[in-house]
Structure 1
């Protein structure tokens, strides 16, 4: 009788463990489904806006109404070009992440001069920003050993985020570089809205921004939730690291560590 009771308890424990495991699998599948739904929502929303802008610009340019207004015509051309660049950036980011995750992307590393790249990004974002943006640079090291294309892409992403998540009256962005024993460190600091401690633990997760953008605050800037995950993946491909330091309502600083 004792053996029968023990056997029954073992079988019962096994059955309960299986049920708990199945519940966890179902919960995980529901979470994945929700992430896919949120990502699809964010993707459609983020692509719809530039496509609408491009359509509007092309409509006015094709109609001939702006033939006698060269300044306005040039403005619409610029809008269309910027939105096409936006769509291409989003598309390339998705493709790059796919290659990174399948280990098919190779970094073409070289000594990249920082000053001209920072100057180009300063001019680009100062011109396209819809609010005042003030840049300062403190480059204690003139170059970094990295893939030039992806270095510029991740810096652009961090600057774009700094502008998006800032107060309407403007933002101050400081870009610094320095050396330590193992790494060339590039820091992007802003005095924007900051990131809460809870969000700091998840912002590098894939699709995290997409879900937050839909559920928490519909007025927040749209996005796929791929930007910071892209930064992290590219840094890993460089065999480097990325860290964030932030106080909500005061500042955010991202540190990129590239092996020397």
Structure 2
């Protein structure tokens, strides 16, 4: 699937999901508004019936509109005469039961002597009186002389509970949206893995082709009879074959080691090592390649460490090879050691093209290669620094990177000194 096709699928999917969500939100709101309207109408009818029952009991004329809604959840009802709390509570309960208004409500009766609404009680959804903590405030009105107020504190949650169908459909929509997001994530991940695999195979083919071609040319030269009469030339081509063979070996070992690390099967054999001796052995081939471009600044006095010799040498070679690859035509690489805070600090620094800040956090990722712009001679699998990080981690060491674009890069490995 091409990149443009994936983008089109994502855009269409996002538009479709957004449309579904918008339509769903619209109908949920419409359904809630309808339930709210039905609830208000039912409450108004119930409270009007209560007012008419009181009027009839006291032989008063009925009032056409005795109920006034002051807010979304608060109503006041024209009473016209003083009334006991117990009588009002009984009438409210009976009327609300009859009209299936099964939600908490609070009521109070206006007292003209104190000019306040005296709180009556809090009635729960089962029409039982519940104790309340703190003062309950029921707003007054100047619309009536004698009246009572009824408030529904849980009105919104009560109405929401009536939207079972819409809640279920919204959950289904949410599941579809999550599934779509996960499907897009999988597609993009598979696309990226496919690109990484393609790049890795291309890089591996090129990396293996170069030393194989060099070895073939060198062996063709060595197959000539006259080469035996030119010992210096013979030695040069033998060294070339040896160097390229080691290069192939290191590349194969890097791929195999990375595969073992990924499966958690890499085993290390830590022994006491002399770091300066190990550095000299690990950089022999580099001296042949760049000569004076490599300098050693070995200041550490405590140089014995516990490490796997082979893997530590591979770490050093990887970092030095990286420094050379990203240093242009005239590489300058410095390897230094020092002791600080019970650690031996191994530093490999170059004066190459450096790494931009946005890439530093990614350089240890498997297969990741820093974009090099117009520098096209940089080859590799994108495994070297990932291998370095894993070997450092397995040894319980620490690695830090300092880099500045255009000024070079410095890798520092902090290795504890055995006591």
Partner SS for 2:412: strand
Does 2:351 match 1:194? no
Residue 26 of structure 1: CA displacement? 0.7
> Which of 40-49 and 186-195 deviates more?
186-195
Partners in 2 of 1:218 and 1:253 — Cα distance?
Answer: 20
1:193–1:241 CA distance, 2 compared to 1 (3 A): same
Q: Is the 8 A contact 1:132 1:170 kept in 2?
A: no
Partners in 2 of 1:33 and 1:145 — Cα distance?
Answer: 39
> What is the aligned partner in structure 2 of residue 179 from structure 1?
340
RMSD of aligned alpha carbons: 2.1
Partners in 2 of 1:195 and 1:178 — Cα distance?
Answer: 27
Partners in 2 of 1:244 and 1:93 — Cα distance?
Answer: 21
Residue 184 of structure 1: CA displacement? 3.1
- Among 190, 214, 222, the residue aligned to 1:29: 190
Partners in 2 of 1:118 and 1:21 — Cα distance?
Answer: 48
Structure 2: gaps spanning 5 or more residues: 1-30, 32-162
- Among 289, 307, 312, the residue aligned to 1:146: 307
| Number of equivalences | 255
> What is the aligned partner in structure 1 of residue 4 from structure 2?
none
Query: Once the two structures are superposed, what CA deviation does each residue of 1:215-256 show, in whole Å capped at 9, x if it has no partner?
Result: x55613210011111101111111222111111111211111
> Which of 27-36 and 56-65 deviates more?
56-65
Partners in 2 of 1:137 and 1:10 — Cα distance?
Answer: 65
> What is the aligned partner in structure 2 of residue 244 from structure 1?
401
> What is the aligned partner in structure 1 of residue 238 from structure 2?
77
Partners in 2 of 1:239 and 1:120 — Cα distance?
Answer: 23
1:93–1:67 CA distance, 2 compared to 1 (3 A): same
Partners in 2 of 1:124 and 1:55 — Cα distance?
Answer: 20
> What is the aligned partner in structure 2 of residue 258 from structure 1?
415
Query: Once the two structures are superposed, what CA deviation does each residue of 1:115-171 show, in whole Å capped at 9, x if it has no partner?
Result: 222233444311123x75130323323222211221111111111211221142331
- TM-score, normalization by structure 2: 0.57
Q: Is the 8 A contact 2:366 2:382 kept in 1?
A: yes
Q: Is the 8 A contact 1:115 1:139 kept in 2?
A: no
Q: Is the 8 A contact 2:283 2:317 kept in 1?
A: no
Does 2:289 match 1:128? yes
Where relative contact order (Cα < 8 A, 6+ residues apart) is larger, the structure is: 1
> What is the aligned partner in structure 1 of residue 366 from structure 2?
206
1:103–1:4 CA distance, 2 compared to 1 (3 A): closer
Does 2:383 match 1:226? yes
Q: Is the 8 A contact 1:171 1:191 kept in 2?
A: yes
Residue 19 of structure 1: CA displacement? 1.2
Alignment of 1:52-67 (within 5 A): 52-67=213-228
Q: Is the 8 A contact 1:176 1:188 kept in 2?
A: no
> What is the aligned partner in structure 1 of residue 247 from structure 2?
86
Rg: which structure is higher? 2
Partners in 2 of 1:222 and 1:106 — Cα distance?
Answer: 28
Partners in 2 of 1:132 and 1:206 — Cα distance?
Answer: 32
Alignment of 1:5-24 (within 5 A): 5-24=166-185
1:139–1:106 CA distance, 2 compared to 1 (3 A): farther
Partners in 2 of 1:149 and 1:172 — Cα distance?
Answer: 22
Residue 13 of structure 1: CA displacement? 1.8
| Structure ranking higher in helix proportion | 1
Partners in 2 of 1:179 and 1:58 — Cα distance?
Answer: 49
1:20–1:105 CA distance, 2 compared to 1 (3 A): closer
Structure 1: gaps spanning 5 or more residues: none
